[in-house]
Amino acid sequence: MTAKNQTPILQHLVDITGHRDHSRLELSVVSALRQLMDIRRVRKLEFSTHNGETSVRPMLLLDEGQVLAESEHAGPEHGEPLSAYPELLDCIEENTNSTQRIADDGVVTLWLPVRLDQKVVSCIEITNDKAYSAQTIEVIHGIIEVYRNYQSLLDYSERDALTGLFNRKTFDEQFARYARGSTPPGERRGADTQWLAVVDIDHFKQVNDRFGHVYGDEVLILVANLLRSSFRANDRIFRFGGEEFVVLLRSADLDSARSIFERFRQNIEEYDFPQVGRVTVSVGFTGTSQGAPVEILGHADQALYYAKQHGRNQVCFYEELMSSGALQVADVAHNDVELF
């Protein structure tokens, strides 16, 4: 490859490593693949585990040369079984960096797993109408390897070590930016409201006291897995520390948001936690269209506090509590939780 041919690749590598946001990182990789290889379709496959079964949720990033909005092209809500991707399953089990399938019509699908701490956390799936040359395969591998390495660096700084969810620092950065009206490239803010929920495991101290911190940590990990499987690929889930989590739910009307949070609460209630048995959660949520980030998070926290004070194991909506008089302005004025 000549120096002239290397120049566009180097420019794309500079762009890829110039981001500190996962969405922008992914889209810069997609742009590089589109411009350098004229690839037809790129999907990111996200993995979640529930009851020992691994599910795959595809998120379409590029289709027919067009970069797509993730909120409009997320995959099935509950995902597909990993067994529906036999070549990818074999690739993961054999710990190889890629695998491909050539269909009868000549369409080629290439899978490139992304690992963190030797665990596959996602996969880049590339589809094209014709076979790739050896040189193209080499370039694709190089770009994806840069993406893997750089994403690992971002993950170490952005994710909670125990659960693998985004951490508090990442929430502060992402939500403050989102509340100012900034959205990831390729994603538009729809007419539907965005929602923020605070989730707290009920009586979690009793779990640690009765069963020990090892089982307590296992409960946290399992709750994190249930969070992943209960929400969509384009929603954002964070662990705030201890037994508290935050969910940023994208583009849903009120009825849908309430239904999604209620379904998650039920998923927790019905799950059989090893040794511990039954665990429940309380949820407080609010809309994000009005107020500063600190106020929005405070409203969700007050709805959560109300749920905890009135029986636990329920979902409470801040605006509804205020309009019904269940919460008063005086009740929320003394919120002393350190939010940012």
With a CB cutoff of 8 Å and minimum separation 6, the contacts of 10 are none
**Which of 15, 32, 36, 31 minimizes the C-alpha distance to 68?**
31
**125 included as an active-site residue:** no
Closest to 204 (Cα-Cα) out of 253, 243, 255: 243
Cα first-last separation, the chain: 50
User: Which tokens is 82 given?
Assistant: 């990993």
Catalytic residue among 243, 262, 295, 338: 243
Sheet holding 244-249, edge to edge: 236-241, 244-249, 195-201, 281-287, 315-317
Q: Which residues contact 161 (CB under 8 A, 6 or more apart)?
A: none
CA distances, 317 to each of 140, 201, 244, 300 (Å):
47, 17, 17, 8
User: How many angstroms separate the Cα of 224 from the Cα of each of 155, 161, 200, 297?
Assistant: 16, 12, 12, 20
Q: Rounded to whole angstroms, how far apart are CA atoms 13 and 114?
A: 18
Just list the catalytic residues: 243
